[in-house]
Amino acid sequence: MTEHDITLSVNGTEHELTVEPRTLLVTALREDLGYTGANVGCETARCGACTVRVNGEAIKSCMRFAVQSDGAEIETVEGLAENGDLAPLQEQFQENHGLQCGFCTPGMLMTADTYLKDADDPSREEIREAIEGNLCRCTGYHNIVDAIEATLEQREASHE
């Protein structure tokens, strides 16, 4: 099948690559470009382990072909920490023990990080709804909700 030359901007770095049409965005990120943070845990858009940000929105990167994302601005978990310092959300995941095996974590962080950009004093139930597209089999979600809540509280406190 005809291969296609595409450009992906990942965490601010432009990459040019050649892909088969059927190459998923997550496959291009993981196997062609080495961004192995996003993981693949299912084929039915349920698990969310592959969540990245495309043009500012959290999406499941196993639910689109790489060629569809030609020219897109992509942000992955690898871009959250700056100069080796964990972002506040990552710190709160650590402090609140919001991860165990870590496989769902990159996707969970990208969903939560995107949600937090616009979130305004959400209830725990609203936080749970926000991360509904990310399955975690280890934590039972309680500490993940704690971590997201704590990040918000920390942000509020720093604005006061």
Partner 1 sequence: MSESDQPADKRGFGDPIERDEDVPLLTGEATYTDDIQLRGTAHLAIRRSDHAHARLLEVDTSAAEAMDDVVAVYTGADVEDSGVPNTIPTAWMLPGLVTPQYRMLAVDKVRHEGDGIAAVVAETPQAAQDALEAIDVEYEALEHVTDPVESVDRDVPPVHEEAEDNVAFDFELGDADAVDEAFADADRVASVDLRQPRLIPNAMEPRSALADWDVATEKLRLWMTSQNPHLHRMLLSAGTLGVPENKIQVIAPEVGGGFGSKIYHYPDEAVTAWCSMQLGRPVKWKASRMEGYVTDCHGRDHTTSAEIAVDDDGTVRGIRVETHAGLGAQLSQFATATPSYLYATILSGEYAIPAIHCRVIGAFTNTTPVDAYRGAGRSEGIYVIERLMDVAARELEMDPAELRRTNLVPPDEFPYETAAAVVYDSGEYERAMDTALEHVGYDDLRERQAELREEGRYLGIGVANFVESAGLSPSGLAGDLGAQAGGWESSIVRFDSTGTVTVLVGTADQGQGHRTTFAQIAAEELGVDVDAIDVVEGDTDQIPQGLGTYGSRSASVGGGAIARGAREVREKAREIAAHQLEASVDDIEFDDGEFHVAGAPDRSYHIQEIAAEAYLGHDLPEEMDPGLEATNFYDPENFTFPFGTHVAVVEIQPETGEIDLERYVAVDDCGEIINPMIVEGQVHGGIAQGIGAALYEGAAYDDDGHLLTRRMDEYAVPHSTYVPDFETDHTVTPSPHNPIGVKGVGESATIAAAPTVVSAVVDALEPFDVDHLDMPITPETVWQAMGGEE
Partner 2 sequence: MYANDFEYYRAESVDEAVDLLGDHEGAELLAGSHGLLPRMRTGEEAPPALVDMNAVDGLSSIEHIDGDLSVGALVTHAELAESELVREHAPALADAAGEVGDIQVRNGGTIGGNLAHGDARTDHPAAVLALGGSLDVTGPDGDRSIDAADLFTGHFETAVGEQEVVTALRVPLEDDASSTYHKHRNPLSGYPLIGVGAWAQTDGETIERVRVAATGNLAHPKRLAAVEDALEGESLEADTITAAAEQATSLGDDEFRPDVQASPTYCRHLLSVYTERALRDVLGVDGE
Give the residue, chosen from 15, 119, 141, 154, that forms a contact with partner 1 under the rule CB under 8 A.
141
Residue 21 touches which of partner 1, partner 2, none (CB < 5 to 8 A by kind)?
Answer: partner 2
Smallest separation (angstroms) from partner 2 to the CB of 60: 5
Total chain residues near partner 1 (CB under 8 A): 56
CA distance 91 to 145: 14
Residue 58 touches which of partner 2, partner 1, none (CB < 5 to 8 A by kind)?
Answer: partner 2
Residue 142 touches which of partner 1, partner 2, none (CB < 5 to 8 A by kind)?
Answer: partner 1
Give the residue, chosen from 131, 150, 151, 152, that forms a contact with partner 1 under the rule CB under 8 A.
131
Residue 134 engages partner 1 in binding (rule: CB under 8 A): yes
Whose Cβ is closer to partner 1: residue 6's or residue 79's?
79
Give the 3-state DSSP-derived string for the chain, with helices as H, strands as E and coil as C. CCCEEEEEEECCEEEEEEECCCCEHHHHHHHHCCCCCCCCCCCCCCCCCCEEEECCEEEECCCCEHHHHCCCEEECHHHCCECCECCHHHHHHHHCCCCCCCCCHHHHHHHHHHHHHHCCCCCHHHHHHHCCCCCCCCCCCHHHHHHHHHHHHHHHHHHC
List residues bridging with 15 in a β-sheet. Answer: 8
Residues binding partner 1 (CB under 8 A): 20, 22, 30-31, 35-47, 49, 76-78, 80-81, 86, 90, 93-95, 97, 99-106, 109, 124-125, 128-129, 131-132, 134-145
